[in-house]
Homo-oligomer: A and B are copies of this chain.
């Protein structure tokens, strides 16, 4: 039983072919803070993220996911998960750590997304001029852009959603909160969490048939007005908004999807969503004939590209399966 062994999404590494432009986007428009630079990587966090970083941007040939890191609930929980992962055959092995955290155990999802689990983290310490009297806030609210508050979740494209959903459940204790099941019983989307959030991870069918691609990273505002405010800044600064603001039926999120200059999709999450406290939650099943409202409850529709584009981009390489 992996229940309660994973506590939270700790950080995400993303590759970008345009490091400085990506940085500009995350710092000037989303108000994120740089914690450190090392080699080809820059470490960033939102102003209410407590750890050293929640986003590691690494220069790469093409956009895509580096890895997803989960924090275990305790050193013992970490040990339990590693033992299980080793047996699963999906394990890669321990790394010594990185800036901002200690040793971590790395592994692949069945689809091939690199992930890691860790316990030791370094807490962010604000410099004197950024210390705030609001003691649950690790630093002052930034003066630049419309600052995101915290990392929320990742969405991973999968060739086989069901298999990866089962892995996240069995190996890491993620509970299935909502999923989309077609009439032929194919599962094409799954929203899973280890906390009352509806998801720290979503798994979504890759209609191109590719494996291990990245759909999006989501940062949380919690205030609908902030989506309007940042949309204004995005349009003024030539950042492409793919869709939104709008409200999903699935997960109830008030969303906006944008492309950071490196090509990765970023979701900006504009309300509180709903929270699941019921310990006996029965996963919500969205059937084919319920999908219209499930995908868009109201507001901006999603373009076809939303279901096909992921990073790395394969649009020039594959034909869409009909």
A8/B252 contact (C-beta < 8 A), A223-B271, A299-B244 known: no
Q: Which residue of B lies closest to A141 (CB)?
A: B232
List of B residues within 8 angstroms of A222 by Cβ: 271-272
- A252 CB contact (under 8 Å) in B136, B241, B279: B136
Q: Is A288 an interface residue (CB 8 A)?
A: no
Q: Is the CB of B133 within 8 A of A235?
A: yes
- A8 CB contact (under 8 Å) in B231, B235, B278: B278
Q: Is the CB of B136 within 8 A of A274?
A: yes
In whole angstroms, what is the CA distance A133 to B290 when docked? 8
Residues of A in contact, count (CB < 8 Å): 68
A300/B301 contact (C-beta < 8 A), A133-B235, A196-B195 known: yes
Chain B binder among A32-40, A71-79, A97-105: A71-79
Q: Is A254 an interface residue (CB 8 A)?
A: yes
Q: Is the CB of A249 within 8 A of B72?
A: no
| Residues 42-56 of A contacting B (Cβ, < 8 Å) | 48, 50
Q: Is A247 an interface residue (CB 8 A)?
A: yes
Q: Which residue of B lies closest to A50 (CB)?
A: B278
In whole angstroms, what is the CA distance A28 to B142 when docked? 11
List of B residues within 8 angstroms of A71 by Cβ: 278-279
List of B residues within 8 angstroms of A247 by Cβ: 228, 231
A236/B140 contact (C-beta < 8 A), A133-B293, A271-B222, A299-B244 known: yes
A48/B136 contact (C-beta < 8 A), A225-B226, A232-B298, A300-B299 known: no
How far, in Å, is A62 (CB) from chain B's closest CB? 28
How far, in Å, is A91 (CB) from chain B's closest CB? 22
A-B contacts, 12 listed (Cβ < 8 Å): A7-B279, A133-B235, A133-B249, A133-B293, A134-B236, A134-B252, A144-B144, A195-B196, A228-B254, A231-B299, A232-B297, A234-B298
